[in-house]
A and B are shown apart, each in its own frame.
Chain A
């Protein structure tokens, strides 16, 4: 089975701190994603990467950056955390199955910014 592992399940940070969220997948997928999930808003795409060192903005990239130095690892960076970035962050990688672009998600990282 494809496994997507997020390094931290729960984090508490202070406003202004730099935050790193790490994600590793073990199935050699080219595409990786970062979403945030908030009640009533569903999953919103922050950034995605289709290859090493390649990235593309999603719908809500402001306040975030990403890094993909190795194929299996995709990091989300909050340069200066703010309270409105308190959320559940979900990492995913994807593959094509019978024409469908199927995402496999990690367990999520719940970030609280105080």
Chain B
């Protein structure tokens, strides 16, 4: 089986940097994705790491270390609009297109 664990809540202030961790236990997967979901909205794709290392997309960066079974999403220059839930997800190897999600982290950005 596989599971992805995330902290349930994170609080930070505007302008700060926050890191949301994702640890996983899975026998194999293709890569690690991140999705953002605002309250009452649909999840939307943020980033994908196929390989170990850091991927940067504007204020958001995502990191993957397969040897440590660990990844994180880094949000810089936080804005109030970044308040949302963030989910990591893996695409299982050998099971085409089954994307499995983590438990989600609720980020609250305070003024």
Q: Which residues of A does B touch, CB under 8 Å?
A: 4, 31, 33, 35, 40-45, 48, 50, 56, 58-59, 90, 94, 97-108
| CB contact between B50 and one of A41, A48, A99, A107 (< 8 Å): that residue | A99
CB distance from B61 to the nearest CB of A (A): 15
Closest B residue by C-beta to A39:
B104
Q: What's the Cα separation between A41 and B4 when bound, in Å?
A: 10
* Interface residues of B, dominant DSSP: strand
Beta-carbon contact of A100 and B103 below 8 Å: no
Task: Say which size band chain B's interface belongs to.
Answer: 20 to 34
| CB contact between A43 and one of B30, B31, B91, B101 (< 8 Å): that residue | B101
Beta-carbon contact of B87 and A107 below 8 Å: no
Chain B residues within an 8 Å CB radius of A58: 98
Q: What's the Cα separation between A94 and B50 when bound, in Å?
A: 17
CB distance from A40 to the nearest CB of B (A): 7
Beta-carbon contact of A102 and B45 below 8 Å: yes
Q: What's the Cα separation between A44 and B99 when bound, in Å?
A: 10
Chain B residues within an 8 Å CB radius of A104: 45
B72 at the interface (CB under 8 A from A): no
| CB contact between A48 and one of B4, B45, B98 (< 8 Å): that residue | B98
Q: What's the Cα separation between A56 and B91 when bound, in Å?
A: 15
Beta-carbon contact of A42 and B99 below 8 Å: no
Segment 5-64 of B: residues with Cβ below 8 Å from A: 8, 30-31, 33, 35, 41-45, 48, 50
Assuming the A-B contacts A42-B103, A48-B97, are A105 and B50 also in contact, with contact meaning beta carbons closer than 8 angstroms in the complex?
no
Q: What's the Cα separation between A58 and B92 when bound, in Å?
A: 12
Chain A residues within an 8 Å CB radius of B104: 42-43
CB distance from A87 to the nearest CB of B (A): 14
| CB contact between B45 and one of A56, A99, A100, A106 (< 8 Å): that residue | A100
Chain B residues within an 8 Å CB radius of A41: 103
Chain A residues within an 8 Å CB radius of B48: 97-100, 102
Assuming the A-B contacts A42-B87, A101-B91, are A94 and B97 also in contact, with contact meaning beta carbons closer than 8 angstroms in the complex?
yes
| Max count, chain B CB within 10 A of own CB: residue among A48, A56, A100, A108 | A100
